[in-house]
Structure formats: C-alpha cells, structure tokens
C-alpha cells in the first residue's frame, strides 16, 4: 500500500507539473481574468451601465487590454471597481456584500452523510462565486481526505501546516488564527483538512463529555474557535465528510445555515431520509444543554442533475412537491465542464470557456452556479436584515 501511495503521489506531481507549467504548483499560476461582461455579472449591474461608469468615472483600475481589443480585470480589480461604485452611490448597500459590525458571518455547513453527492464540488464553486462577488470567505475542511484543501493547493499533511485538527485537538489546541492559510484566490482563506482528524474522533470518544464544567464541551469547540475570526469574514463554509462524526456535529451546531446536497437518484433520496433522521436524533443530545439553537435557513439542492433524464425529472418534481420552498430553485446540473474542471483541479470560475469544451456547455453551468450563488446570497443577506434586489438595478 505504501508503495502504491508513493507511485500515485509521484505521478500526480508530474501531472500537476504538466497542467500548470511553467509554474510548479497551481497556486503559482495566474488566475483567469474576467471580461467586462463577466465583471458586470459579478457586480450584478447592467453591462452597458458598467461600461458607462468605466468610461465616465475616474479612479477605476485600467485592467488589461487583451488581443482583439478586449479588456479584462483581475478579481482584485473587480473588488476595487465594486468599492468605488458603492462609495459613489452607484450600487445599493445590498450589492456591496459586507456584513454589518454587529452581524455574525453566515456560517454554512454543506452537509450530507452520503458520499458522491458533490459536497466538495458545490463548496469550492460556491466559495469562488461568492468571493468574486466581494464576500470574504473562510473555508473549513473537515474531511480527513482534504479534497477541498487540495483544490485550493493547501496541503497540511505534505507542507507540515496546522490543520483543523490542531484547532480541535484535546491536548494543546492552537488558535484558529494560526491554522488559517491564505489561498491563491482573492477573498478566500482556508483551514485545511488533515488525516489527523481521525484522531480527533478517538480523543473525543475517550474523553466524552457534554458540559461537565471541565474544559470545552466537544460540540462547542468549533463555535468557540470561530469567535476569534467572526469580524474578519462574511461567509464561513464547512465541507463535511460523508459520515457522522463529532466534528461534523460540532460544525452543524456552529452553523447558522445548512445547505444539503442530494444526488438525483431514488437511492440517494432514501439515504437522505435516513441521514436526516440520524442527524436529528444526534442533535437532540446536544439540545439537552443547548436549547436555544436555531438556523437562519436550511435548504436542499439537487446535484448531478440531468434535466433531460425523465427519471431525474420525475425525482425533481417529487422532491419539490414534498420539500416546497426548502428546495433551491436552481439544480446543480451534471455537466461535462464540471468533469473537465475536476480533472484540471479547477472550479468553473478558474477554468474559463476556452478550457471547458464548447462555449454553450460552459455558459450553461456558469449560469447554473451563478443562480445557485444568488439564491444562497439571498439567504445570507436576509440573515443580516437585507433584501437582495434583482440583478441589474441601481
């Protein structure tokens, strides 16, 4: 097993060297720049309105003039454009995504005990769309496999970095501020996952207590850790492993919103029922000492969905008839572009239309993810007391 592990690790290193050449690592490569139209969509203003502002207002970043007389902007430049427009009164407060001084960050657990329901894919893509919008995002990777951390090129086990385990461990935990690593993507930081998270489960089992007056109750370890960074982030996203664990329960307790992905298959719906029942039973134990726990929202999202598949179409109708408005209106489509992005270790925002097969395929999944982000953003803004206007207005 060790030999095969070494073989695969070396092969992946060579593959990454080819994918991201001439850079050594993904994080060394320049991020894709966005066109004026994509910038307008990120800022949720009309394309012609943005062009007018860029032409007639002073102080905007120049961007870069590409071949074909196309102007592009980096994510940092988009955030600067957003700030200038907001301070000039050209966009409303709801289009400037910052929580108020007294608001808590929207803390969202992407949560389902079944594997293969696209939790990591949903979390990574949602985080980048939110970050481009201007939200300051903290990712917390609770999966010992660390797939989300790998996507953002933060490898705690390989680079000997502090991980979420070091924050939660029983003996000598570190402040979460020491475990937060910046990523190559503007506005996204991460507390990486680690294989050591399996040890946290054993430690918690061995010293199990809810609230005996000694130490920190296990279900409050994440809540308490996050208090140090509440003022620095607008959104905190948990990527959870496909099994029930003390860490998952602590994350679900720490969250004020739940996003539950479910694959478009009847067996997955059957598993969903069992997982929700198990989750409810487990959290009832926590409720014995935390009776005032509430969520701002709980939403389900259908993933790996093919609208032309008659069986999946019927399943979508079934779920919507039973769960009503708890279902997001937008389904996470099954797309070749998502597969291409996974193979290249790049979420859709990084991939770009040129690398995603046909432009039509890319536009379809990009619009899908944009609409998912808009729906989640509505919930975030509502938790802060705002109603998100429709896109395009001033």
Domain presence at residue 392: no
Residue 300 pLDDT grade (very low, low, confident, very high; cuts 50, 70, 90): very high
Do 180 and 126 reside in the same domain of the chain? yes
For the CA atoms of 264, 266, 267, 268, what is the dihedral angle to 10 degrees? 40
Q: Do 172 and 58 have their domain in common?
A: no
CATH of the domain at 276: 3.40.50.300
Over 60: is that where the pLDDT of 31 sits?
yes
Both tokens assigned to 188: 């996204």
CA distances from 163 to 106, 126, 139, 168, 387 (A): 22, 22, 12, 9, 36
Give Cα 78 distance to the centre of its chain: 20
Rounded to whole angstroms, how far apart are CA atoms 60 and 54? 7
Q: Assess if residue 101 is contained within a domain.
A: no
Task: Provide mean pLDDT across the span 152-180.
Answer: 93
Cβ-Cβ contacts under 8 Å for 48 (sequence gap 6 or more):
none
Per-residue pLDDT, 393: 45
Give me the helices (H) in the chain, please: 2-19, 36-43, 47-56, 75-87, 119-133, 147-151, 156-159, 164-168, 176-179, 197-206, 221-226, 246-254, 266-287, 310-323, 336-343, 348-351, 359-383
Nearest to 139 by CA among 164, 116, 118, 102: 164
73 and 190: one domain?
Answer: no
| pLDDT of amino acid 210 | 46
The rounded distance, in Å, linking the Cα atoms of 115 and 108 is 19
Structural domain count, the chain: 2
Nearest-CA neighbor of 211 among 230, 224, 227?
224
153: closest CA among 137, 139, 165?
139
Q: Which of 44, 71, 95 is the last residue of a domain?
A: 95
| Residue 208 and residue 334 share a domain | yes
By DSSP bridging, strand 297-303 and strand 235-239 are unpaired
Q: Give the range with max mean pLDDT: 4-13, 25-34, 150-159, 285-294.
A: 150-159
Is residue 375 classed exposed, middle or buried when 0-12, 13-18 and 19+ CB atoms within 10 A define those classes? Answer: middle
Do 117 and 59 have their domain in common?
Answer: no
pLDDT > 90 in the chain, percent? 51
Range of the domain at 220: 106-383
75, 95, 115 — which closes off a domain? 95
Of 33, 64, 95, the one marking the end of a domain is: 95
In sequence order, what are the residues at sequence separation of 6 or more whose Cβ sits closer than 8 angstroms to the Cβ of residue 96?
A: 82, 83, 86, 134
Residues 159 and 36 in one domain: no
Same-domain pairing of 159 and 302:
yes
Q: Same domain, yes or no, for 88 and 144?
A: no
Rg (CA), the chain: 21
Residues 51 and 113 in one domain: no
| 65 plus 139 within the same structural domain | no
**Mean pLDDT, rounded, of the chain:** 87
């Amino acid at each position: 097993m060790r030999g095969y592990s070494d073989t695969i690790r070396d092969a992946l290193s060579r593959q990454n060297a080819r994918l991201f050449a001439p850079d050594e690592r993904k994080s060394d490569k320049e991020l894709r720049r966005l066109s004026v139209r994509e910038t307008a969509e990120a800022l949720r203003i009309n394309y012609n309105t943005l062009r007018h502002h860029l032409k007639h207002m002073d102080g905007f970043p120049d961007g870069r003039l590409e071949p074909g007389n196309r102007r592009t902007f980096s994510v940092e430049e988009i955030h600067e454009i957003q700030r200038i427009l907001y301070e000039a009164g050209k966009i409303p407060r709801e289009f400037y995504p910052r929580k108020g001084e007294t608001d808590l960050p929207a803390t969202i657990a992407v949560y389902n005990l079944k594997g293969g329901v696209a939790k990591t894919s949903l979390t990574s893509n949602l985080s980048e769309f939110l970050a481009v919008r201007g939200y300051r995002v903290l990712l917390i990777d609770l999966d010992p496999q660390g797939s989300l951390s790998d996507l953002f090129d933060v490898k705690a086990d390989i680079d000997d970095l502090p991980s979420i385990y070091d924050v939660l461990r029983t003996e000598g935990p570190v402040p979460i501020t020491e475990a937060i690593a910046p990523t190559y993507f503007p506005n996204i930081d991460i507390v990486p996952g680690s294989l050591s998270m399996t040890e946290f489960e054993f430690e918690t089992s061995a010293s199990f207590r809810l609230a005996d007056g000694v130490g920190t109750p296990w279900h409050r370890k994440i809540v308490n850790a996050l208090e140090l960074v509440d003022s620095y982030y607008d959104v905190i996203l948990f990527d959870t492993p496909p099994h029930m664990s003390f860490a998952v329960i602590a994350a679900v307790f720490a969250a004020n919103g739940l996003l539950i992905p479910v694959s478009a298959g009847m067996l997955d719906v059957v598993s969903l029922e069992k997982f929700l029942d198990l989750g409810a039973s487990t959290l009832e134990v926590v409720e014995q000492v935390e009776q005032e726990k509430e969520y701002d929202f709980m939403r389900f999202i259908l993933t790996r969905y093919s609208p032309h598949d008659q069986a999946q179409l019927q399943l979508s109708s079934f779920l919507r008839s039973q769960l009503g408005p708890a279902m997001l209106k937008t389904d996470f489509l099954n797309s070749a572009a998502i597969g291409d992005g996974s193979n290249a270790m790049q979420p859709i925002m990084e991939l770009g239309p040129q690398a995603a097969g046909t432009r039509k395929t890319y536009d379809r999944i990009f619009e899908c993810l944009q609409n998912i982000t808009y729906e989640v953003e509505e919930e975030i803004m509502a938790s802060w007391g705002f109603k998100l206007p429709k896109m395009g207005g001033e």
